[in-house]
Structure 1
Amino acid sequence: MPETNLPIDFESQMLELLGQAEFEQFKEAINTPSHTSIRLNSAKFFLLTWANTPISWSSTGFFLEERPSFTLDPAIHAGAYYVQEASSIFIEHILHSLNIPKGIYLDLAAAPGGKSTLLSSYLGNEGMLVANEVIQSRAQILKENIIKWGLGNAIVTNNDPEHFGPLEGFFDLVVVDAPCSGEGMFRKDPQAREEWSIDNVQLCSARQKRIMDQAGALVKADGYLVYSTCTFNEQENEEMIRFLTEEFSYEPVRIPLESTWNIRETSVETEGKTFYGYRFFPHLVKGEGFFITVMKRSSEAYIQEPKRIKDFKHPYLKEVWNRESSDLDDELRFDGSGKYYTLNDSYFRISKDWNLHFQKISQHLSLKYFGVEIGKKQKRDWIPTHEWALSILPKHGFPSHELSETEAIEFLRKNDFEISGLPIGWVLITFKNLPLGWVKNLGNRVNNYYPKEWRIRM
């Protein structure tokens, strides 16, 4: 990896943070190649065959000894795993070590979806996640990754933090991986070094305060706030702890650490209490640069519970009544926990346990996707969606056909290829028993229904 010079102001900042001897180790580390890491989807069976070592703070994360061609691996398109930076997988340890109560979660700056898919896995069928992204093109990538993950417990929204005002005190957990100056990416992305400046740090800090001024109010009493950046400086990290605790009533939370992990704990004295942050330095851990802090909302803070809406109205969603929802779950041989909505005659399914929360959210936010889109119904037959294929919901009544790796890649390229012995009608295509999508056998030809915009172009 070619060494590029570090900005002088950044060197001064890091010397102050680390001291001369450790700064030299840091410089050496950021000029070595990054480590590739993935996190498995525990709801989908995938046998890891690449040489790997477990990530210490995760039960589902692994470092790979070599970086494979992920694009040409059908399993990634099936949502069997997510390529995620190891330091940010630390959120898994936070959730489990604090035993954070499951409920309604918000990932406020969620794209491309690493933390959202992690939160979705933690919640399982015991909660609902709002995965929000303000930039529309990035919200589309987030939606794709949530669909591939397939758990059906997420709502993807495309909103500015300001739009969340009516949801004050609504969430059990709010995660903000804030846009930052990117110092922690200096190894992975040498261009980040060239774009860095003190002015940019100050600009990022001001933007973070604007976001956190909204986010801090969204956590309900006794709920948790997780704030993270991929940067090292105190202005975007410890100063944000001070800002938040001056604006809102939060209690400190300390995360248990193993000394062998080499994660640096930092403390901030503010409002008469000691708050904690955690820094990941690339010369100490195998991951990239990262900072994270956790706080608990005071028990005196506001709690907003969603109220039943007598007559649910929405500009484009239609509620399917409870009896019909129950009949649909019976017909599809699901577990009976579903609540349905229609959009353009296509049925979407969410958990009825979170229906009131969903209705409240849909009144205030711009929805990009929610639950699992099942498809359209023609008399007694279903036209199934790609989203249903990738979800963990059963696909009773549809035959399946297993492809070889070569055939699976052709399918993912949306190419036509010969498949013999297929039954007539809709057939679920699988690779290593992981659903990839649908084909329809018309007798004289087989149509590939893989989404055009998702196809492999490599």
Structure 2
Amino acid sequence: MSAIQLPKDFESQMQILLGKKEYELFLNAIDKPARTSIRLNTSKPFKLNWSASQIPWTVTGYFLEERPSFTLDPIFHAGGYYVQEASSMFIDHILKSLEIPKGIYLDLAAAPGGKSTLLSTYLGNEGLLVANEVIQSRAQILKENVIKWGLGNTLVTNNDPDHFYPLEGFFDLVLVDAPCSGEGMFRKDPQAREEWSVDHVTLCASRQKRIMDQAGALVKGGGYLIYSTCTFNEQENEDMIRFLTDEFAFEPVRIALEESWGIVESSVQTEDGKFYGYRFFPHLVEGEGFFITILKRPDTASSQEPGRIKDFKHAVLKSVSEKDAEALELELGFDGSGKYYTLNDSYFRIQREFYRYFEKLSQVLSLRYFGVELGKKQKNEWIPSHEWALSNLPKTQFSSLELTQSQALEFLRKNDFQIEDIPLGWVLIKYQGLPLGWIKNLGNRINNYYPKEWRIRI
């Protein structure tokens, strides 16, 4: 019998959901330590030196046998992997098993960025992701994680769901990992148990309906809506399927599962058919509590395509002419597919084929970051940004310097480190081949350009 103190109403709810016998297994499971898991950034390959086992529903996810100090791992700061809960990586299986078309995606409640970086990887150069966070401080964390991931296909925005009203029918996929009562986090977060109550569940469900009442309309015809929570109760899960199918036209989507995964499929019968949900219980899967459902908009539903904006006007952004953009691509050694904008004299690059979508989005939403910030150009010299350093864009015109682990940690602390024969000028600092940032050798001194607010303090 577990010694964990849980709210009585929660115990009653779970006994109804699982049955008394299985509830005992559930109690024993949440009394055990949670496993640490990471998802690899396939665009930044490195050798994984920890003892690890693959997460069954994604080829890039791994359980670690022990939790290392990520703060003291330079590869973590280089964006080589993301520390993410295993259950939520099931989204990777959904995307690939359904072969969801790539295009314009939205992660509506995106911070701290685990699901956004997963979507970003899936899209690659074939799509554009809007990663939105309503809370400003969390939007900053999201921005940092998107920059570290380095793919340059993401816009970070800081908006309430209501602000997306002009974008109805705009997105090929909308993901909402909704704020919830957090029942699935009871093992990892004891505070979640203390905050739980029946009233809190009802409040969360009401908040979720407000969000989904907007989110459901944002999916274009033929597009997909993914809704997830880290909670178990039906009020925040299956009832939300009922709400969505009452409010909008959706078609059911069923996901192929391996029995060995231990994921429990549930179903909801509606006038439009049987819809499916997938629940992760910690006594059945190696992961925390999670629920997810997938719905598809009918092809006949309305879709919005951005028109061509002849003269792009924005309060702070300026579009770089096609002629100048082509010259920049050639100068910087890029592949010719870039579209450029300036903000406070700093250059930003996105994929040219998505510029119409970007310009539409930029006129509706509050941007916190987009594409890749390259830095500033003074006369004929580039002052490269940290964002460019961490991106996957080429940096062939700069010298680079490979550091040992101890040297890399000193760089990440913004401390001086001793090394001979450093080239003059801007130098890209690397660890195991992955860029960490810039230094500039002025001859008589070396300046460390790692961002002050990112430096490690241990």
Per the normalisation by structure 2, the TM-score is 0.99
| Unmatched tracts of structure 1, length 5 or more | none
For 1:218, give the aligned amino acid. Answer: L
Stretches of 4+ aligned residues off by more than 3 angstroms: none
Give the Cα separation in 1 of the matches to 2:44 and 2:64: 19
Aligned pairs for 1:265-280 (under 5 A) are 265-280=265-280
Map of 1:300 onto structure 2: 300
Deviation at 1:417?
A: 1.9
Matched, 1:237 2:237: yes
* 411-420 or 441-450, larger mean C-alpha shift: 411-420
Change (3 A) 1:440 1:231: same
Structure 2 counterpart of 1:224 = 224
1:288 paired residue number? 288
User: Whole-Å Cα distance in 2 between the matches of residues 312 and 356 of structure 1?
Assistant: 10
- The answer for the alignment partner of 2:246 in structure 1 is 246
1:201 matched to 2:219? The reply is: no
What is the aligned partner in structure 2 of residue 179 from structure 1? 179
Letter of the 1:405 partner, please give it.
Q
Which SS does the other structure have where 2:401 is aligned? strand
Task: Please report how far the alpha carbon of residue 46 of structure 1 lies from its aligned counterpart in structure 2 after TM superposition.
Answer: 1.3
Between the aligned residues of both structures, percent identity stands at: 72
Aligned positions of 1:232-381 closer than 5 A: 232-381=232-381
Structure 2 counterpart of 1:20, one-letter code: K
TM-fit CA distance, 1:3: 4.3
1:4-43 to 2 correspondences below 5 Å: 4-43=4-43
Find out whether 1:141 has 2:141 as its counterpart.
yes
Q: Distance in 1 between matches of 2:110 and 2:419?
A: 39
Contact 1:4-1:190 within 8 A present in 2 as well: no
Q: Which residue of 2 aligns with 1:423?
A: 423
Partner residue, 2:454: 454
Measured against aligned partners, the alpha-carbon deviations of 1:35-86 in whole angstroms (never above 9, x if no partner) come to 0000000001111110010000001000000000001000000000000000
> Which whole-Å deviations, capped at 9, do the CAs of 1:286-315 have from their partners, x for residues lacking one?
100000000000111110000011111000
- State how many pairs are aligned: 457
Aligned to 2:108: 108
Q: Distance in 2 between matches of 1:221 and 1:268?
A: 22
Cα RMSD for the two superposed structures: 0.7
Q: Distance in 2 between matches of 1:123 and 1:4?
A: 42
Amino acid at match of 1:256: A
What does 1:392-407 align with in structure 2 at a 5 Å threshold? 392-407=392-407
Residue matched to 1:158:
158
CA distance in 1, matches of 2:277, 2:114: 21
Q: Which amino acid aligns with 2:106?
A: L
CA distance in structure 1 between the aligned counterparts of 2:76 and 2:36, rounded to whole angstroms: 15
Seen in structure 2, the aligned counterparts of structure 1 residues 272 and 222 have a Cα distance that, compared at 3 Å, is closer
User: 2:254 aligns to what SS in structure 1?
Assistant: coil
Asked if 1 retains the 8 angstrom alpha-carbon contact of 2:374 and 2:388, the reply is yes
Deviates more, 1:373-382 or 1:78-87: 373-382
Report which stretch shifted further, 3-12 or 360-369.
3-12
- Which residue of the partner structure matches residue 432 of structure 1? 432
Determine the structure 1 residue equivalent to 2:123.
123
Alignment partner of 2:165: what SS? helix
Q: CA deviation at 1:4?
A: 3.1
Q: Report the residue type matching 2:178 in the other structure.
A: A
1:390 aligns with 2:357: no
Higher deviation after alignment, 408-417 or 239-248: 408-417
CA distance, structure 2, for counterparts of residue 159 and residue 272 of structure 1 = 32
TM-score normalized by the length of structure 1: 0.99
